Amino acid sequence: MTSPVGVPDPRIACRIPGLLGAGAGATGALWKLAESGRQLDANVVRLDPGARVAPHIEPDLDVLLVVVAGDGTLDGAVTPQDLTEGAVVWLPHGSTRAITAGADGLAYLTVHRRRPGMQIRRRAD
């Protein structure tokens, strides 16, 4: 079976264990989905032990976060929640969130709808 003309075939985008092993010691975004025509954005991010993603609000997009290695804490508007390997976390748009890596660091995959590119438009007035 083949996809319609012009539609890419499904494929493995990355292998997380190999990515984490090959990038030992690297921090920040280790991988991102970059294929043209995609409707999603995805990233694999690694934080050093104790590193923190400062509190912020994503006003427009829900984000799905999957912990792939290590542990940490998710701070929201209510109580902190433990992040452990295998946890799948829904971060609803409009919610406040911050992430702190544990003693062994933290690696996670995020997936969300792709933001449209910036466009130049006429002012409404």
3-state helix, strand, coil in the chain (%, to 5): 5, 45, 50
pLDDT tens track for 11-60? 898 899 988 887 677 888 999 998 888 899 999 999 999 999 999 999 99
Among 17, 38, 37, 28, CA closest to 111: 38
Per-residue confidence at 107, pLDDT binned at 50, 70, 90?
very high
Among 102, 11, 122, CA closest to 51: 102
pLDDT tens track for 17-31? 988 887 677 888 999
Model confidence, pTM: 0.84
pLDDT of residue 47: 96
Average per-residue pLDDT for the chain: 88
